[in-house]
A and B are shown apart, each in its own frame.
Chain A
Amino acid sequence: MASNIQVLIPLFVALPLAVSLLIQIVARGRPVMAEWLANATMLALVLMTCYAIGDTGLYHMGGWPTPIGIDMRLDALANLLLLAVSLVGFAVALYSVDYMRRFTARGHFYSLFLLMVTGMNGVILAGDLFNLYVFLEVAAVASYSLVAFGCAHEELEASFRYVVLGSLSSALILVAIALVYGITGTLNMAHMAGRIAETGMDAPLLLAFGLFICGFSFKTALVPFHAWLPDAHPAAPAPVSAMLSGVLIKAIGIYVLARLVFNVFGVSESELGLLRWLGILSMVVGGLLAAGQKDIKRLFAYSSISQVGFMVLGLGLGTPLGLVGALYHLINHSMFKSLLFLNAGAVEYATGTRKLKKLGGLNRALPVTGATSLIGSMSIAGVPPFNGFWSKLIIILACVESGYYGFAAVAVAISIVTLAYQLKVQRLAFFASLPGAMQNLRREPRLMALAMILLATGCIALSFAVLGGLRDPWLIGAAQEVLTAGVFE
């Protein structure tokens, strides 16, 4: 077993990277071949992830031992994130086959898409900080260009804002890495954790920590740093929006935040307090702004900010139950938010508009989109028995358990706001009557329907994870233990 895992760990990064270059070489001008290659790669990644579940491993790049070489580390938390990336990535790749027909240069699209997956897998598996930074930039640069993929006015503008803020946050992160390296003399996260545990947090380390929080809050789009997200996510083509909102902000944002706070710097009450307030602020501001949106994708983008707030609040509680809630909500959100973005894409594909006012009665014209979007909406709004209900319940229970009754009340209130804006989408777009101009809509293409059904099934399947008990849902309990185990050995 151990040797198999040793082969698999580097493949998670190498396979998508190799195929993305291969597409550029052999599939130029042959988009169908690029489609096949990308889908096969994502399917392989799903199978590899399923195989690796429950396994842990440490891979030394090039066979160099730890203090000299570069490590890649697979543990239960990495497993969880890999699962989210590969499942959503596979559904998105399927969906893109039909959706991207309207665009030119589809070969480039699949190359960039696989590069983004490479970057995310690399960040998840990286064992040292600089490697993490490099993969983060790979994912980020791929996402900048994917946001601009349509090359229309809005897309270019959104992408430019995204690049500027993204590079700014990357620079902050690099300064923080330089500081931490100067203080601890190592880049390996495990060694770094050991040194920091010895010396404790002093002023320069605190500065580095603050810079990390700022930098990764940008990447996660927590509220004072969220300005780019509502432009960038809706401007991208729908499959890319699904990828960005569904997994990118988690893999290169929340995941790294959690790793740094719990496994590298070690937790203290004041740091957790900061996370809690960031979470609450994002939850409230994102939720209220989402409720006022008229564009369906923009509404979902603001809703992402709000839902990310729930996760960061759970992390900030720092208790095992809070972490379980945060991680459970993370994987749930990756399923239903990417599902909702794919639904929005299907609506735009069929009707040519994203304005809620112009839509209506789409349940009859687009039955699969209507049904799956109902599942997605109910999940994100936290209607029992869907998965979103359980994860929000756990987060709220964790707030009560730690004695933060006020935060619990805010979380309940924002859940109700979520329900309100999701019902608004359902009522305006899918129920009511079909506008006259839209009587002869064609149904969604088969592969797009299949991708949406896949993600909806994922939403429903995840609600059964809770059968393992509220404190230890399937797969998520193990990931939580990685964080509560504290700093790396």
Chain B
Amino acid sequence: MIYSLCLLLILVGLYGVVASRQTVKIVISLVIMQHGVHLLLLLIGYRDGGSPPIVDSTTTLTSFAGLTVDPLPQALVLTSIVIGLGVLALMVALCVRLYDRYGTFDVTEIRRLRG
């Protein structure tokens, strides 16, 4: 169920990328899609009622593996969010520069390249 909601979020983002005409809306749609992927990644490591993956003096390897949620996807998502931030900054900068040059955010008017 909750997996399909993630998928829905990804598809909403994808639809936005394909259907919007404004560069800024395309960027926002991409971010929505990225976060859908991040949630999916987190869900894969999630376990109902699991404890936080913190090791103290009383945990053994088996109790750690048996009780906690998987910490690896969390690390991956953190990395991926940072990458996403970098790409977002670049995209927004491009939008601003495009607005400077073309005077519009409308992708149907930003059309010098053909063929």
Expressed in whole angstroms, the minimum distance between the Cβ of A452 and any Cβ of chain B is: 27
The one of A134, A137, A156, A230 that contacts B101, using a Cβ cutoff of 8 Å? A156
Determine the chain B residues whose CB is within 8 A of the CB of A14 once the complex forms. Answer: none
Q: Which of A143-151, A320-328, A392-400 contacts B (4 or more CB under 8 A)?
A: A143-151
Instruction: Answer whether residue A56 sits at the interface, using C-beta atoms and an 8 A cutoff.
Output: no
- Asked whether, in the complex, the Cβ of A134 is within 8 Å of the Cβ of B110, the reply is no
- Asked whether, in the complex, the Cβ of A298 is within 8 Å of the Cβ of B115, the reply is yes
Instruction: Answer whether residue A181 sits at the interface, using C-beta atoms and an 8 A cutoff.
Output: yes
Instruction: Answer whether residue B86 sits at the interface, using C-beta atoms and an 8 A cutoff.
Output: yes
Determine the chain B residues whose CB is within 8 A of the CB of A159 once the complex forms. Answer: 94
Determine the chain B residues whose CB is within 8 A of the CB of A134 once the complex forms. Answer: 79, 83
Determine the chain A residues whose CB is within 8 A of the CB of B73 once the complex forms. Answer: 178, 181
The one of A130, A145, A178 that contacts B44, using a Cβ cutoff of 8 Å? A178
Instruction: Answer whether residue A175 sits at the interface, using C-beta atoms and an 8 A cutoff.
Output: yes
Determine the chain B residues whose CB is within 8 A of the CB of A174 once the complex forms. Answer: 37, 41, 80
Residues of A in contact (CB 8 Å), total 33
Determine the chain A residues whose CB is within 8 A of the CB of B72 once the complex forms. Answer: 181, 187
Instruction: Answer whether residue B76 sits at the interface, using C-beta atoms and an 8 A cutoff.
Output: yes
Given contacts A159-B94, A178-B73, contact A153 B34 (CB under 8 A): no
- Asked whether, in the complex, the Cβ of B44 is within 8 Å of the Cβ of A181, the reply is yes
Expressed in whole angstroms, the minimum distance between the Cβ of A132 and any Cβ of chain B is: 12
Given contacts A231-B113, A293-B115, contact A163 B37 (CB under 8 A): no
- Asked whether, in the complex, the Cβ of A157 is within 8 Å of the Cβ of B115, the reply is no
- Asked whether, in the complex, the Cβ of A154 is within 8 Å of the Cβ of B113, the reply is yes
Expressed in whole angstroms, the minimum distance between the Cβ of A173 and any Cβ of chain B is: 10
Instruction: Answer whether residue B26 sits at the interface, using C-beta atoms and an 8 A cutoff.
Output: yes
> Is chain B's binding surface mostly helix, strand, loop or mixed?
helix
Instruction: Answer whether residue A158 sits at the interface, using C-beta atoms and an 8 A cutoff.
Output: yes
Determine the chain B residues whose CB is within 8 A of the CB of A231 once the complex forms. Answer: 113
Residues of B in contact (CB 8 Å), total 34
Expressed in whole angstroms, the minimum distance between the Cβ of A377 and any Cβ of chain B is: 21
- Asked whether, in the complex, the Cβ of B40 is within 8 Å of the Cβ of A178, the reply is yes
Expressed in whole angstroms, the minimum distance between the Cβ of A111 and any Cβ of chain B is: 14
Q: Which residue among A152, A156, A187, A235 has the maximum number of chain B CB atoms within 10 Å of its CB?
A: A156
Instruction: Answer whether residue A484 sits at the interface, using C-beta atoms and an 8 A cutoff.
Output: no
Expressed in whole angstroms, the minimum distance between the Cβ of B95 and any Cβ of chain A is: 8
- Asked whether, in the complex, the Cβ of B37 is within 8 Å of the Cβ of A160, the reply is no
Given contacts A137-B87, A293-B115, contact A157 B44 (CB under 8 A): no
- Asked whether, in the complex, the Cβ of A171 is within 8 Å of the Cβ of B113, the reply is no
The residue in chain B whose Cβ has the minimal distance to the Cβ of A289 is B115
- Asked whether, in the complex, the Cβ of A148 is within 8 Å of the Cβ of B94, the reply is yes
The one of B13, B79, B98 that contacts A156, using a Cβ cutoff of 8 Å? B98
Instruction: Answer whether residue A54 sits at the interface, using C-beta atoms and an 8 A cutoff.
Output: no
Instruction: Answer whether residue A32 sits at the interface, using C-beta atoms and an 8 A cutoff.
Output: no
Give the CA-CA distance A137 to B84 in the complex, in Å: 9
Given contacts A154-B112, A156-B94, contact A178 B87 (CB under 8 A): no
Q: Which residue among A164, A171, A293 has the maximum number of chain B CB atoms within 10 Å of its CB?
A: A171
The residue in chain A whose Cβ has the minimal distance to the Cβ of B27 is A164
Instruction: Answer whether residue A182 sits at the interface, using C-beta atoms and an 8 A cutoff.
Output: yes
- Asked whether, in the complex, the Cβ of B26 is within 8 Å of the Cβ of A164, the reply is yes
Closest 6 CB pairs of A and B: A182-B44, A178-B41, A137-B83, A231-B113, A174-B37, A160-B94
Please, could you name 28 A-B residue pairs with CB atoms under 8 Å apart, sorted by A? A134-B83, A137-B87, A141-B86, A141-B87, A144-B90, A148-B94, A152-B101, A154-B113, A156-B94, A156-B97, A157-B98, A157-B111, A157-B112, A157-B113, A160-B98, A163-B94, A164-B17, A167-B30, A167-B34, A167-B91, A168-B30, A171-B34, A175-B37, A175-B40, A181-B41, A181-B73, A182-B44, A231-B113
| Besides the known contacts A152-B101, A153-B102, A154-B113, 6 further A-B residue pairs in the complex with CB atoms under 8 A apart | A133-B80, A148-B97, A157-B113, A159-B94, A163-B87, A167-B30
Q: Residues of B with Cβ closer than 8 Å to A? A: 10, 13-14, 17, 23, 26, 30, 33-34, 37, 40-41, 44, 72-73, 76, 79-80, 83, 86-87, 90-91, 94-95, 97-98, 101-102, 110-113, 115
